[in-house]
């Protein structure tokens, strides 16, 4: 009979680190569970092969020390691996065999239904990984939980049935990231550039209801919000529309208002002086524009799509999209009102004006608005004030975009995903077409893992890189082939009623997946850490820059090779990682241990960006990153971290002018926080609690209750407002300013 093992509490290693269970729940590490697991295997073998109390105690204590030394929460699978190794090191081979067999049986049992625990942990709000996966989704509310529950089922089907085993394994090990597997089971795609012009001018259908061409600007705005909500519920990524498509309706309202004013004055016997009529018309028109934009802003913020969040939508503001004259001036009126309302913000439930996450705004810098004295410079000044207060708009340089995109200027689809330039004329009469096109999906390569796997050997690096790129290629083919055969009926608003196409009922979308109509994205992450591992220095050095640009060119060459062979528009994409940055970091630490400057953080750097802790001024950063942005044609965005600039608008304008001359797409990261406990409206700080966890704290009153503070931070090209996982929180804490506080 086995002897009961009793280990004195005083001898046990005390560990405050958490453990991540298979369902994503974080729990306190418990050494007794290790002891009990070994005991169960121990009693299964003959007495001569059994381990003694002190051996079991030594194994458990050794594992506890490793867990305590880990800089992040350890997965339960990692601990089980440590148990196996520990038993073997004690020469308990027969016990190890029983333990492995028991573990295998448990694994088989779990695989009979892999989603139950995950779903139950979501409902009970115990899954820390999912709770902070998306900083714009509140995991407490029912609609978000429904989406997450469906996502658990989709991920399970994707992993067990829909994807090849080697791709699933590479994804789970953080070698690649197969994005949005929680939507992969359905035939959904990523991002859209909505053809709002077609839908407004030619009518559309929403929920089997015919929506005819609007007869006023206000109605056009209202219809736009309904279109955005419908589109958001039929795909999983970002979407963009341009205010230029709303501009013609300003004059529709102007004529309608004029007719009404004349009729009113005739009915009351008042003078019909043109000067008076014009003034009344413009006053009423301004009010309608104000109401229309307010409708867009408030409806898009308060609408909730089927995935439990406000539509992830971007509004594009480019004056030269419409003809010069009255229509362009009307567009300027719309843009002005958008900026004024965004600068004001929105009231939260406490009645405090705060910064909303959406819609994201993009303002195009061009010859007619970039310098003082140009026709629309006053709009640019207003944009600068808005950015200083509310972090948006972001900026596209028309000059640089025309240089990169064959003379065209058009918005990204969401926060950064750009379409491949139209060089063949996909629109009517051979005109270049962008609105109505979309992105099929993303797979990201972990460049840090490529570097670590090659152990600094350059020949080995290029060999492994090519192997991993081919793995990404096959994963991207899976995304493409999943969409093949999709009939237009699955999302009528997209495929039949103008958002993306006007296909017939029952018609397949296949032709839209080829010939450059839609893109598919090869993402990349960790260029900085890759360079440090291979060269021992940042990619901002001359040697590092040369090597990193060669890597970027290899990615582009591979996309060109695949595109030529398959007529599918592969494109290199600077991945906006949110929760994935933490996952990649944890996987790297597990595979390669702690490597200074490479794997010693709980995050890795987004795309080509200069590391967040590297001291560099705003202008040098933008200039340096411009070359890498050019090699990310599928999408990228650069940023500069700035202090409160509300009292230094000339400095904001100087950065904007530099963006215009040097880089295609960039943004300014300001701070926009509020503490409900004390009314503090400065920067809420990130501190470490006694257990080493990063938490948010008001520097004025010490409030740490996230439900009683409003924090807005740019994390992935868009603004997040629901807080972040530990990896992203650490990255935010480590950011240095690129503009001096005395600038």
pLDDT value, residue 430 = 87
Alpha-helical (H) ranges within 593-674 are 618-630, 649-662
In this prediction, residue 395 carries a pLDDT of 98
Instruction: Give pLDDT tens digits for 150-167.
Output: 777 888 889 989 999 999
The verdict on 386 and 269 lying in the same domain is: yes
Report pLDDT for 114.
53
Cα separations in angstroms, 108 against 101, 111, 170, 212: 11, 5, 21, 57
- Domain boundary (112, 130, 153) is at 112
Question: Is pLDDT of 732 > 90?
Answer: no
**Has residue 78 been placed in a domain?**
yes
Report pLDDT for 67.
87
Does residue 234 have an active-site annotation?
no
For residue 108, what pLDDT is reported? 61
Winning range, highest mean pLDDT, from 81-95, 240-254, 726-740: 240-254
Number of domains in the chain: 3
Query: Could you confirm whether 343 is annotated as catalytic?
Result: no
Within-domain flag for 383: yes
The catalytic position among 221, 401, 415, 534 is: 415
Whether residue 272 is found in the same domain as residue 372: yes
* Strand spans (E) along 56-211: 74-75, 176-178, 192-193, 204-206, 209-211
Q: What pLDDT was estimated at residue 25?
A: 65
Q: Which residue has the higher pLDDT, 715 or 628?
A: 628
Is the domain of 255 the same as that of 309?
yes
For residue 141, give every residue at least 6 positions away whose Cβ sits within 8 Å of its Cβ, in sequence order, or none: 308
Residue 395 has phi, psi (to 5 degrees) of: -130, 135
26 & 120 share domain: no
Out of 152, 578, 641, 667, pick the active-site residue: 578
Question: What pLDDT does 356 receive?
Answer: 85
- If asked whether residues 351 and 301 sit together in one domain, one would say yes
Within 243-388, strands assigned E span: 313-317, 346-347, 353-354, 360-365
Q: Where are the beta strands (DSSP E) in 564-610?
A: 569-574
Give the domain extent around 54. 9-112
Catalytic pick among 717, 720, 725, 731: 717
Distances in Å between the alpha carbon of 91 and those of 50, 57, 343, 383, 441?
10, 15, 68, 70, 49
Q: What is the three-class DSSP state of 695?
A: strand
Contact 588, 451 (CB under 8 A): no
Same domain for 142 and 284, yes or no, is: no
**578 tagged catalytic:** yes
d(CA 443, CA 471): 10
pLDDT score, position 305: 54
Same domain (yes/no): 207, 65: no
Question: 374, 402, 430 — which closes off a domain?
Answer: 430
Predicted pLDDT at 1: 38
pLDDT over 70 percentage in the chain:
90
CA–CA separation, 618 vs 79, rounded Å? 44
Which one, of 505, 499, 500, lies nearest residue 206 by Cα?
499
| Active-site residue flag, 190 | yes
Q: What is the pLDDT averaged over residues 732-736?
A: 89
Q: Kindly state whether residue 345 falls inside one of the protein's structural domains.
A: yes
Q: pTM for the whole thing?
A: 0.84
The pLDDT tens digits of the residues spanning 363-391 come to 999 999 999 999 999 999 999 999 999 99
Answer yes or no: do 31 and 144 share one domain.
no
27 Cβ partners below 8 Å, 6+ apart? 18, 19, 21
pLDDT of residue 357: 81
Q: What is the CATH number of the domain that holds 301?
A: 3.20.70.20
Q: According to the model, what pLDDT value does residue 6 have?
A: 46
Q: How far apart are CA 139 and CA 157, in angstroms?
A: 22
Q: Are residues 93 and 139 in the same domain?
A: no
Query: What's the CA angle centered on 133, arms 702 and 175, to 5 degrees?
Result: 125
Phi, psi of 147 (to 5 degrees): -65, -45
pLDDT at 308: 54
| Same-domain check for residues 148 and 248 | no
56, part of any domain: yes
Q: Are 360 and 314 spatial neighbours (Cβ–Cβ below 8 Å)?
A: yes
Answer with the one of 75, 95, 112 that is the final residue of a domain. Answer: 112
Residue 191 a catalytic site member: yes
Q: Determine the Cα–Cα distance for residues 475 and 548; give it in Å rounded to an integer.
A: 24
Residue 622 lies in a domain: no
Q: Do 135 and 106 reside in the same domain of the chain?
A: no
In a domain, 413, yes or no: yes
Q: What is the CA radius of gyration of the chain?
A: 28
Read off the pLDDT of residues 269-316 as tens digits, 9 standing for 90 and up.
998 999 999 999 999 999 999 999 999 998 888 765 555 567 889 999
Instruction: Give the residue among 405, 422, 431 at the shortest CA–CA distance from 516.
Output: 422
Asked if residue 418 is part of any domain, the answer here is yes
Structure tokens at 257: 């208002």
How much is the average pLDDT of 562-578? 94
Q: Which of 417, 454, 488, 516 is catalytic?
A: 417
Answer with the residue of higher pLDDT: 108 or 128: 108
Range 176-190 average pLDDT: 93
Q: What pLDDT digit, counting tens, does each position of 38-93 carry? A: 999 999 888 888 999 889 999 999 999 988 887 667 888 889 889 999 998 888 88
Both 353 and 378 in one domain: the answer is: yes
How far apart CA 249 and CA 145 sit, in angstroms, is: 39
452-500 pLDDT, tens digit per residue, is 999 999 999 999 999 999 999 999 999 999 999 999 999 999 999 999 9
Over residues 433-462, mean pLDDT: 97
Considering only residues 75 and 336, tell me which one the structure prediction assigns the higher pLDDT. Answer: 336
The first and second tokens of residue 663, run together, are 């880089």
Note the pLDDT of residue 147. Answer: 72
Within a domain: 539: no
Spatial contact of 346 and 356, defined as CB atoms under 8 Å apart = yes
Decide if 717 is catalytic.
yes
Task: Give the tens place of pLDDT for each residue, 538-559.
Answer: 999 999 999 999 999 999 999 9
What is the chain's mean pLDDT, rounded? 89
Reference 559, options 663, 477, 450; nearest CA is 477
710 among known catalytic residues: no
Catalytic residue among 18, 42, 127, 190: 190
**What is the structure's pLDDT at 132?**
47
DSSP 361-377: EEEEE-TTTSSTTSTTH
pLDDT in tens, 636-691: 999 999 998 989 999 999 999 999 999 999 999 988 788 989 988 888 999 998 88
Catalytic residue among 90, 391, 401, 413: 413
């Amino acid at each position: 009979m086995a002897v009961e093992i009793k280990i004195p509490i005083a001898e046990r290693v005390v560990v405050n680190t958490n453990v991540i269970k298979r369902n994503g729940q974080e729990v306190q590490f418990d050494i007794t569970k290790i002891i009990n697991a070994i005991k169960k295997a121990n009693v299964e073998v003959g007495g001569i092969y059994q381990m003694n109390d002190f051996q079991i105690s030594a194994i458990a204590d050794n594992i506890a020390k490793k867990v305590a030394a880990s800089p992040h929460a350890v997965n339960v699978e990692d601990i089980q691996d440590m148990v196996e190794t520990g038993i073997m090191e004690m020469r308990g081979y027969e016990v190890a065999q029983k333990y492995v067999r028991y573990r295998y049986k448990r694994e088989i049992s779990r695989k009979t239904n892999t989603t139950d625990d995950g779903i139950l942990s979501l409902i009970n709000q115990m899954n820390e990984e999912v709770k902070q996966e998306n900083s714009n989704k509140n995991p407490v509310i029912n609609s978000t939980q429904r989406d997450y529950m469906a996502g658990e089922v989709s991920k399970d089907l994707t992993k067990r049935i829909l994807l090849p085993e080697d791709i699933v394994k590479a994804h789970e090990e953080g070698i690649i990231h197969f994005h949005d597997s929680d939507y992969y089971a359905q035939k959904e795609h990523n991002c859209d550039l909505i053809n709002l012009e077609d839908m407004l001018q030619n009518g559309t259908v929403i929920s089997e209801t015919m929506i005819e061409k609007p007869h006023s600007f206000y109605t056009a705005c209202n219809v736009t919000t309904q279109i955005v909500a419908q589109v958001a519920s039929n795909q999983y990524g970002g979407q963009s529309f341009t205010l230029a498509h709303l501009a013609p309706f300003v004059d529709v309202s102007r004529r309608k208002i004029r007719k009404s004013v004349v009729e009113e004055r005739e009915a009351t016997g008042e003078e019909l002086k043109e000067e008076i009529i014009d003034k009344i018309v413009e006053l009423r028109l301004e009010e309608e524009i104000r109401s229309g934009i307010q409708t867009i802003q408030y409806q898009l913020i308060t609408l909730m799509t089927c995935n439990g969040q406000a539509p992830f939508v971007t509004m594009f503001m480019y004056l030269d999209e419409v003809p010069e004259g009255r229509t362009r001036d009307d567009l300027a009126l719309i843009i002005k009102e958008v900026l004024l309302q965004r600068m004001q913000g929105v009231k939260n439930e406490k009645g405090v004006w705060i910064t909303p996450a959406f819609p994201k705004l993009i303002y195009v810098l061009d010859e007619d608005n970039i310098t003082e004295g140009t026709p629309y410079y006053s709009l640019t000044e207003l944009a600068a004030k808005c950015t200083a207060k509310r972090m948006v708009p972001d900026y596209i340089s028309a000059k640089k975009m025309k240089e990169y995109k064959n003379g065209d200027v058009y918005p990204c689809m969401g926060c950064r995903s750009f379409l491949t330039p139209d060089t063949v004329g996909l629109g009517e009469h051979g005109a270049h077409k962008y609105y109505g096109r979309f992105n099929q999906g993303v797979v990201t390569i972990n460049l840090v893992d490529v570097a670590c796997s090659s152990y600094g050997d350059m020949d080995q690096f290029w060999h492994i890189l090519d192997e991993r790129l081919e793995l990404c290629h096959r994963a991207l083919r899976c995304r493409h082939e999943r969409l093949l055969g999709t009939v237009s009926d699955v999302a009528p608003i997209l495929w039949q009623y103008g958002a993306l196409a006007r296909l017939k009922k029952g018609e397949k979308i296949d032709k839209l997946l080829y010939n450059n109509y839609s893109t598919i994205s090869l993402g990349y992450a960790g260029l900085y850490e890759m360079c440090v591992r291979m060269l021992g220095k940042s990619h901002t050095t001359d040697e590092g820059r040369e090597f990193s640009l060669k890597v970027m060119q290899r990615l582009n060459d591979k996309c060109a090779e695949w595109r030529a062979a398959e007529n599918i528009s592969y494109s290199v994409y600077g991945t906006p990682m949110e929760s994935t940055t933490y996952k990649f970091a944890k996987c790297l630490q597990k595979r390669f241990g702690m490597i200074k400057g490479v794997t010693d953080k709980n995050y890795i750097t987004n795309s080509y960006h200069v590391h967040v802790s590297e001291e560099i001024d705003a202008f040098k950063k933008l200039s340096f990153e411009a070359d890498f942005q050019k090699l990310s044609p599928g999408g990228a965005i650069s940023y500069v971290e700035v202090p409160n600039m509300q009292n230094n608008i000339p400095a904001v304008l100087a950065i904007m002018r530099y963006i215009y001359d040097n880089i295609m797409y960039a943004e300014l990261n300001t701070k926009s926080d509020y503490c409900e406990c004390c009314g503090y409206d400065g920067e809420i700080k990130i501190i470490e609690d006694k257990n080493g966890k990063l938490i948010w704290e008001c520097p004025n009153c010490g409030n740490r209750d996230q439900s009683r503070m409003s924090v807005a931070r740019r994390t992935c090209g868009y603004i997040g407002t629901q807080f972040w996982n530990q990896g992203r929180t650490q990255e935010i804490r480590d950011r240095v300013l690129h503009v001096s506080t005395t600038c």
